[in-house]
Amino acid sequence: MTQIIAPEKVNLTFAPNQSDNFKSGVMAEFSQETLAMTKRLFIQLQRRPSTLIAGIIQPFMWLVLFGALFYNAPKGLFGNELNYAQFLAPGIIIFTAFSGALNAGLPVMFDREFGFLNRLLVAPLSTRYSIVAASTIYIIALTFIQTAVIVIASAFLGAGWPSLAGLGAIALIVFLIVLAVTALSLGLAFALPGHIELIAVIFVTNLPLLFASTALAPLNFMAGWLQIIASLNPLTYAIEPIRYLYLHSDWSINSVVMETPWGEFSFGNVLLILLAFAALILLTIQPLLKKRFA
Amino acid sequence: MTVAVSIKNLQKRYGNTEAVKNVSFSVNSGEIFGLLGPNGAGKTTTIRCLTTLAKPDAGEIMISGISAIANPRLARQKIGYVAQEVALDKMLTGREMLQLQADLYHLKPKFAQPRIEQLINALGLQEYADNKTGTYSGGIRKRLDLAAGLLHQPEVLVLDEPSVGLDIESRFIFWDFLRELKKAGTTVLITSHYLEEIDALADRLAIIDQGIIISEGSPNELKDKIGGDRITLRIREFTSENEANNAKNLLVSLPFVTEVIINKAQGNSLNLVVTQGNNLSKIETSLTSLNLPIFSMSQSRPSLDDVYLAATGRTLIDAELAAAGSRDLKAEKKQQMK
């Protein structure tokens, strides 16, 4: 290795008063740093697309396998004139978004472990929340790609299409649940000691929350105690309105989209509940992030 | 002369470990300042406090008049930091890493682009810049990290153990580059447990041991302060203990010899502290009287290791070995994880 550094009399100087080389203003700085960190995550995805590919194959397999599992279920079991593909699609959409968001903390955890996070922390970021913002933007974009693929695949598997407004509403619901769960995962990524612990939490949360929701079976199939748990599960509040959208072309903010042991919920109600859930988690992780970022 | 970095009475503990007990030193603008000490002495903790990665328990850190504790964001703008362990994103190319770094420091694109090219050229990274950093050797990684640390034209460049993991050739290239930087006006703060690195580079240095600064000054000042010359004498390539003791007893009685130590690790060679002047021939004569031969003998001015020895009672290498046995690498890793 005879690499000669030839300082071609480049300007290595610290030249004072060159502030015009820097952007100024909190918004300009925030968007520059957030965009740069988001771009990094997308470059990683582009060069290492296995997570995205697996993230699309897995829900697709859920659709096909669960669809086949209940293929010969008596007609009308899941509701009048409803085939299981139609029933299943909303469950898989939310479950996929949920799983993806739950994993959001992993890259941040690895950045912590490999010391890359320190590179971000010694930089004069306008706010360190831009690190969280970049991860959130990335995961939301990724989930939207996955959701779009599942919606298309479900349509071919017999679930049909929701209306255009319905698709918009699905996007909103997916956004809210992803925002909440991503925040939770990022909070854990800063709170837990290492990736082993984070993966353990992901493991014990992921599938149990799927089975304790109405993703695979309606409430009235379940044991009484599970009905209560499923009616408390935020995933249920995301799945049921989407299921309603798949089955009803005429819907409004006042349509009753789900029934629980403690009453009926309208479309507007569930949106508020999801919003409250996201707000609650965002507030909960504040002290965790503050402690790390102080 | 203006002061670029001033650290006063810095203290930092992790759990029960007092990583930094009392550290004070100041770095003048435009100089290369070395922080020398064995592994585990508190160098990295001091640097972590300086770069705002860790919050000190007590003390004051000023960077160009800005408090790193009260005003960490402004302090971060003044510092370029090259960490001991280079953390690069292996999926990004070198150029992409620099671009990311430029955005994190809010450089305007019209300034960032030429600046990135400039540093790629200055550090001889042209043929690597568009490869993924995952393919880089240790030396190239370090150079890229140095380029990243210099992008925003920091007033103070902070390097934590830059030579660890570098091949000899890259190390010399690195040293030359740091000297060029200094000529161009950048203040450089470098930590190292390599004596020769600090001796070769630093205008001034502080020696840190067990979380405390034990001396500060220019290499020559520190060496002059302990005074005398050093003679290393080998009677045979491997001398018996008996012979070494006989020689020692003879040599301590000579008027110009102040101290004789038998170095068992070096085949019972003898380390003498003597007054300045030409003493070798007198020693030769004395040894002949005992019929002892001379395998090798050399006289030198005191080294920084002698300075360290005089202050702590042990050599830097001994301190290294002692520290290596008692270090808790797991706990250290934890401290580094934010």
The domain limits of chain B are: 3-223, 228-301
* Gap from B253 CA to chain A (nearest CA, Å): 52
* Gap from A46 CA to chain B (nearest CA, Å): 10
Average pLDDT of A53-61? 90
Q: For B178-243, give the DSSP string.
A: HHHHHHTT-EEEEEES-HHHHHHH-SEEEEEETTEEEEEE-HHHHHHHH-SEEEEEESSSS--HHH
Per the CB < 8 A criterion, the answer to whether B210 and B21 are in contact is yes
Number of domains present in the structure of chain A? 1
* Gap from A150 CA to chain B (nearest CA, Å): 29
The residues, any chain, with a CB within 8 Å of residue A203's CB and separated by 6 or more, are none
pLDDT in tens, B88-140: 999 999 999 999 999 999 999 999 999 999 999 999 899 999 999 999 988 89
Closest residue in chain A to residue B336, using alpha carbons only? A115
Q: Is the pLDDT assigned to residue A13 strictly greater than 60?
A: no
**Nearest-angstrom CA–CA distance, A30 and A133:** 10
Asked if A11's CB is within 8 angstroms of B184's CB, the reply is yes
Q: Show the domain range for A101.
A: 30-293
The residues, any chain, with a CB within 8 Å of residue A287's CB and separated by 6 or more, are none
- For residue B92, the Cα-to-chain-centroid distance in whole angstroms is 30
pLDDT in tens, B276-320: 888 888 888 888 888 888 999 998 888 888 888 877 777 777 777
Per the CB < 8 A criterion, the answer to whether B193 and B38 are in contact is yes
Q: What is residue A19's predicted lDDT score, i.e. its pLDDT?
A: 67
* Partner A contacted by B100 (CB < 8 A): yes
* Partner A contacted by B87 (CB < 8 A): yes
Q: What is residue A80's predicted lDDT score, i.e. its pLDDT?
A: 62
* Gap from A82 CA to chain B (nearest CA, Å): 47
Q: What is residue B316's predicted lDDT score, i.e. its pLDDT?
A: 76
Q: What is residue A12's predicted lDDT score, i.e. its pLDDT?
A: 57
Residue A125 lies in a domain: yes
Q: What is residue A162's predicted lDDT score, i.e. its pLDDT?
A: 87
Alpha-helical (H) ranges within chain A are 26-47, 50-69, 84-102, 105-114, 116-121, 129-154, 164-191, 195-211, 224-232, 234-247, 267-293
Asked if A33's CB is within 8 angstroms of B106's CB, the reply is yes
Stretch (H or E) spanning A217: none
Q: How far is CA B279 from CA A62, B50, B233, B261, in A?
A: 87, 46, 12, 17
Residues of chain A found within 8 Å of residue B170, distances taken between Cβ atoms: 1, 3
- Structure-block tokens of residue A131: 């690190």
Q: How many interchain CB pairs under 8 A, A with B?
A: 144
What are B159's strand-pairing partners? B82, B190
Asked if A14's CB is within 8 angstroms of B186's CB, the reply is yes
A66-87 burial by CB neighbour count: b if 16+ within 10 A, else e? bbeebeeeeeeebeeebbbbbb
* Gap from B124 CA to chain A (nearest CA, Å): 5
Q: Is the pLDDT assigned to residue A62 strictly greater than 70?
A: yes
Q: Is the pLDDT assigned to residue A124 strictly greater than 60?
A: yes
**Nearest-angstrom CA–CA distance, B248 and B241:** 10
* Partner A contacted by B194 (CB < 8 A): no
Q: How far is CA B101 from CA A33, B95, B104, B143, in A?
A: 9, 10, 5, 14
Flag residues of chain B having pLDDT under 70. Answer: 325-327, 329, 336, 338
Interface residue of A118, A128, A198 to substitute, partner B, most B CBs within 10 Å: A118
pLDDT band at A4 (very low <50, low <70, confident <90, very high): very low
Report long-range pairs for B254-259 (Cβ below 8 Å, ≥24 apart).
Answer: B254/B282, B254/B283, B254/B286, B256/B282, B258/B228
The residues, any chain, with a CB within 8 Å of residue A221's CB and separated by 6 or more, are none
Closest residue in chain B to residue A19, using alpha carbons only? B107
* Partner A contacted by B74 (CB < 8 A): yes
Residues of chain B found within 8 Å of residue A121, distances taken between Cβ atoms: 52-53, 338
Residues of chain B found within 8 Å of residue A292, distances taken between Cβ atoms: 338
* Gap from B316 CA to chain A (nearest CA, Å): 28
* Gap from A281 CA to chain B (nearest CA, Å): 21
Q: Which CATH class is domain B228-301?
A: alpha beta
* Gap from B67 CA to chain A (nearest CA, Å): 14
Q: Which candidate, B11, B285, B308, B32, places its Cα nearest to that of B176?
A: B32
Backbone angles phi, psi at B327, to 5 degrees: -80, 145
Is the domain B3-223 a CATH 3.10.450.200 member? no
Asked if A10's CB is within 8 angstroms of B121's CB, the reply is yes
* Partner A contacted by B284 (CB < 8 A): no
Asked if A112's CB is within 8 angstroms of B96's CB, the reply is no
Report the phi/psi class of residue B240: left, alpha or beta, with left for phi > 0 and alpha for psi in -120 to 50. Answer: beta
Residues of chain B found within 8 Å of residue A117, distances taken between Cβ atoms: 337-338
* Partner B contacted by A131 (CB < 8 A): no
Residue type for A182, please?
Answer: T
Per the CB < 8 A criterion, the answer to whether B7 and B50 are in contact is yes
Residue B65 burial (CB count, 10 A): 11
Residue A9 lies in a domain: no
pLDDT in tens, A233-275: 999 999 999 999 988 888 888 888 888 888 899 999 999 999 9
Stretch (H or E) spanning B141: helix B138-150
Residues of chain B found within 8 Å of residue A126, distances taken between Cβ atoms: 106
Residue A17 lies in a domain: no
Pick from B53, B104, B139: CB nearest A118: B53
Pick from B99, B111, B155: CB nearest A14: B155
Residues of chain A found within 8 Å of residue B76, distances taken between Cβ atoms: 122-124
